[in-house]
A = this chain, B = another copy of it.
């Protein structure tokens, strides 16, 4: 899965990956899943592919607002998102919450639980969702059998580490508008890789959740949206966002070029 991550831009560049999502797909097996290229390694023959179908034990539906897992839950499985949109967040006892990521179809959540066998964050569905449940013991078993799968699992974890590095850069070094610009470009880029528009998106999260992710208050998020809108860079209407000038958005956090 040729993927390069531009730390500067906080944008992932997927190659050979432009998958239309047909919500009508019925088959349970990975081998027939149209998200396969996002979740699973490629390069298997049909026989091996069938064996790999075992990775997914079951499917699970999660209603909007419900948690797939939460802090303290026993870790048993990774989850591949089939449909829907999630946020993961950690929180302190005094109620401060930090959104650590937003995840969409084809992305894997639950990696936080491996180290202690307990989840250390909450995964909340931001819209009705369906996930593939992949018992981690099974993932490990099959990984030992299939080096390609093993490598794939390692890449997924490494990608998450690198993504978090880029979020640290955002939080530590960038200013409010730079953060929001990077965030929007990252979102639209990931959506585009899934067959959606390069320039339009509907946010699945509130201003407050965006702010929590980007380390700023909801009012600051709102102001930044308004500023971009005033400058003609984007069009915003509540959660609908249209990017009118992608280059201008890129320039906000990267005065020069962004590969």
**Residues of chain A having any CB pair with chain B under 8 Å:** 3-5, 7-8, 90, 92-94, 96-98, 100, 111-116, 118, 120-121, 140, 143-145, 147, 150-151, 153-162, 164-169, 171-173, 212-215, 254-256
Contact = CB atoms under 8 A, between A and B. Distances in A.
A9 to B, nearest CB: 9
Contact of A8 (B93, B145, B147): B93
Contacts of A140: 147, 150-151, 154
28 contacts: A4-B118, A5-B116, A7-B92, A7-B120, A90-B166, A90-B168, A92-B254, A94-B254, A98-B172, A98-B173, A100-B168, A111-B157, A112-B158, A112-B161, A113-B158, A114-B155, A115-B156, A115-B158, A115-B161, A115-B162, A120-B162, A121-B165, A143-B150, A153-B154, A154-B157, A161-B161, A164-B167, A167-B168
Interface-centre pick from A161, A164, A169 (highest chain B CB count, 10 A)? A161
Task: Give the number of copies in the complex.
Answer: 2
A140 to B, nearest CB: 6
A93 B254 contact: yes
Report whether over half of chain A's contact residues are helix, strand or loop; otherwise say mixed: helix
A216 B93 CA distance: 24
A172 B212 contact: yes
B168 A114 contact: no
Nearest to A120: B162
B4 A165 contact: no
Nearest to A75: B158
A158 to B, nearest CB: 3
Nearest to A253: B92
A255 B94 contact: yes
Contacts of A111: 157-158, 161
Contacts of A118: 4
A249 B96 CA distance: 19
A150 B114 CA distance: 12
A112 B215 contact: no
Interface-centre pick from A96, A158, A212 (highest chain B CB count, 10 A)? A158
